[in-house]
Amino acid sequence: MFLRWFLYFVLILFALYFIFPLYVMIVTSLKTMEEIRQGTLLTWPSGLNFDSWAVAWGGRGYGAGDTFLKPYFWNSIKMVVPAVFFSTFIGAMTGYVLTKWRFKGDQWVFLFLLFGCFIPFQAILLPMARTLGVLGISNSVIGLVLVHTVYGIPFTTLFFRNYYISVPTELVKAARIDGAGFFKIFFKILLPISAPIIVVTVIWQFTQIWNDFLFGSTFSFGEAAPIQVALNNMVLSSTSVKEYNVDMASAIIAGVPTLIVYVLAGKYFIRGLTSGAVKG
């Protein structure tokens, strides 16, 4: 009995420890600057005051130097949606070929693709910057889509390859006898049973790309920057007083989309990660 209570005590303690920063963020974002100066970190706000959220999202309405998140949020959306789509799709295709249309040396192709998972981001910054320059898409959302797609392929391929390897190859043989070709087999037979691994891949890629700061800050600036870069600029470039409430609201806005994706698809995430292991 004592042990049980002790266990709960420890668990609650940990939970509080993790919730605490979020609490501070939310509470601070709802306070006015006056309240922040007078109270402590933990003080409850006097009322629901969303002014700082409005400022973080839409700015104060005066001209130069007014940084706010709205345009960059859309930049990020424009970057993350195609990048997630293309990297997932290409990964699914590659995984399909590597498991169901085996060819000589396919293991080597897979091995080299896996290498891509282990190359540190920093190592490819310079060659990638040069590539984007040659292609004429540096400092653009399209450039970032390309970077994230290319960098995502090793991971998405790994996911799909490991999923498709547990799908019996006899399915493909049966479909070939039935007269289905390469693409038909992929779209009609494999893709419809890939929902769990698609969810896993989408969550993984969305989180990676949305939260990326390094590529965003290296390959874009000014108007083409994604939200994480804008958030950084906003927080660091305050000229006069540090507006903690606006900073906190901005940080939450920048983090919310990944949270939404997790909440919507979370249960598939766990299922997808373990499905290969259980089905055998």
Partner 1 sequence: MKTLKIQELSKNFGTTEVLRKINLEIDEGNFLVLLGPSGCGKSTLLNIIAGLETINEGNVFIDDYNVSKVEPKDRNIAMVFQSYALYPSMNVRENMIFGLKQAKVSKEKIEEQLQKVSKFLQVDALLERKPSQLSGGQRQRVAIGRALVREPRIFLFDEPLSNLDAKLRVEMRREIKKLHQQLKTTVVYVTHDQTEAMSLGTNIAIMNHGVIQQNDTPENIYNKPSNTFVADFIGSPSMNLIKGNLKQSSNQISFVANGSNFEIPINGYDFIEKSNLENKEIFFGIRPEHIFSKKSNEGDFEINLRADLSEYIGHEQIMTFDYENQEVLAKFPSTIKIELSKNTKLFFDLTQISLFDAKTEERI
Q: Which residues bind partner 1 (CB under 8 A)?
A: 168, 170-171, 173-180, 184, 188-189, 192-193
**CB-based contact 43:34 (threshold 8 Å):** no
Closest distance between partner 1 and the C-beta of residue 280, in Å? 13
Sign of CA dihedral 20, 26, 29, 30: negative
Measure the CA–CA gap between 223 and 245, rounded to whole angstroms.
24
What φ, ψ does residue 80 adopt, rounded to 5°?
-75, -35
Q: Which residue, 34 or 170, is less far from partner 1 as judged by CB? A: 170
What does the block give as tokens for 54?
Answer: 């409005």
Q: Which residue, 184 or 267, is less far from partner 1 as judged by CB? A: 184
Q: Which amino acid is at 209?
A: I
Q: Which residue, 123 or 177, is less far from partner 1 as judged by CB? A: 177
What does the block give as tokens for 134?
Answer: 């040659």
Q: Which residue, 168 or 222, is less far from partner 1 as judged by CB? A: 168
Closest distance between partner 1 and the C-beta of residue 137, in Å? 38
Closest distance between partner 1 and the C-beta of residue 198, in Å? 13
Name, in order, each residue with C-beta under 8 angstroms of 216's C-beta and a sequence gap of 6 or more. 144, 225, 226, 228, 229
Closest distance between partner 1 and the C-beta of residue 268, in Å? 16
